[in-house]
Amino acid sequence: MILYIEQDILENPRTQIFLDKYPRAERVIIRNYKNIFDKKIPYPIDDCMILAALHGNHITECPPWYDLYDHSFFFKTSIGCLFDCDYCYLKGAFENHTMKVFFLNYEEIQDSIRTTIQSVREKDPHGSIIFYASDYSDIQWFDILSGFNESFIPFFEQFEGVICESRTKSANISTLRSFKDAPNNFEVAFSLNPEAIIAQFEHKSASLSLRIEAINTLLDTGWKVWLRFLPLLPVPGYESMYRDFLEHVATSVDFSRVHSFSVGSLLYTKADYRVMQKKVPGFSLLYQIEQDTEDGFLRFPLPVRTYFYKLFREFLPKEKTSICLDV
Ligand code: SF4
């Protein structure tokens, strides 16, 4: 294994955690992660990590249709994912989508978040604000190394009316469980799909049963949990598969304790779709996606989305559910 380490991040205490975890890894000092990341390198990219600092571009505003919050932002502390979902948008965004880079200069990233909150509050003192953690990765699976939770959860507790959401397909909640009290401003969002879909398309991610176990453990200890039914996929027999799945989840998890729900399916830009066709030509569901759309986004046909919309409306509490299926 190779650890590529930016010169400027060598003394960061979080770097030491990686070095301790991988004492035999070859260490290569680099000037800037961009010299390595998403480049062709003569080494298996699944077997290397990049430790870096991100200067600027920490935060991106979400598109207006993204959620129901007054102000929504993504922020980055890493790029790349341990899991390998066939439909993953990282494939469209990068050449080497499995390469992993960790930005460890958390204090600088937090300064940017603080400045953003202050500027929103000057214009809208009481509006709801949400920050989505790392839109380019699933950060919970490696939190034992990155220390994101330990640093960012207390950080967000300082701000009234601000939520941080961390989305995951992992069931590894060990670092969350180490908190004495559940935080007010942090929400763990679990992406859920039927077990057969997880096995077929969400490679290396946790099984549905393990995710449900993690959800119930967090709910029992007072954590805010968000269930994300996303992306819904119209595989053969999807109508009965998703009905059985929802019945199972509804009997396994107490929906009255779940903080919020969201529902969505696949949505690609034309450019991303073309890349996906090249990279995962065997992902047969791609060929069910509609090509002629007025807004430039490609999605599954309307009857499929309408079916999903009605089904999830039937099962999920309306007041806590956001459904984004463009029906
Ligand atoms: S868990 Fe998310 S980021 Fe990771 S491969 Fe799957 S879709 Fe991509």
Burial of 248 (0-12, 13-18, 19+ CB in 10 A): middle
Each domain of the chain, given as residue ranges in start order, spans 54-324
Specify the pTM.
0.94
* CA neighbor of 190 nearest in space, from 128, 250, 258: 258
255 CA distance to ligand 1 middle (Å) = 25
**What does the pLDDT read at residue 89?**
85
**What does the pLDDT read at residue 91?**
83
**What does the pLDDT read at residue 213?**
98
**What does the pLDDT read at residue 191?**
97
Alpha-helical segments (H) within 188-237: 195-201, 208-220
123 CA distance to ligand 1 middle (Å) = 35
Instruction: Say yes or no: domain 54-324 is CATH 3.40.50.1820.
Output: no
**What does the pLDDT read at residue 16?**
96
**What does the pLDDT read at residue 209?**
98
160 CA distance to ligand 1 middle (Å) = 30
Are the C-beta atoms of 72 and 116 separated by less than 8 Å?
no
Does any ligand 1 atom lie closer than 6 A to the CB of residue 85? yes
Index of the ligand 1 atom closest to the CA of residue 169: 1
Does any ligand 1 atom lie closer than 6 A to the CB of residue 90? yes
DSSP letter at 63 equals P
Does any ligand 1 atom lie closer than 6 A to the CB of residue 169? yes
**What does the pLDDT read at residue 261?**
96
Question: Which tokens sit at 283?
Answer: 């992902």
* CA neighbor of 142 nearest in space, from 168, 180, 163: 168
Most informative mutation of 46, 78, 84, 85 for ligand 1 (most atoms within 8 A of CB): 85
- Residues in the chain with pLDDT values less than 50: none
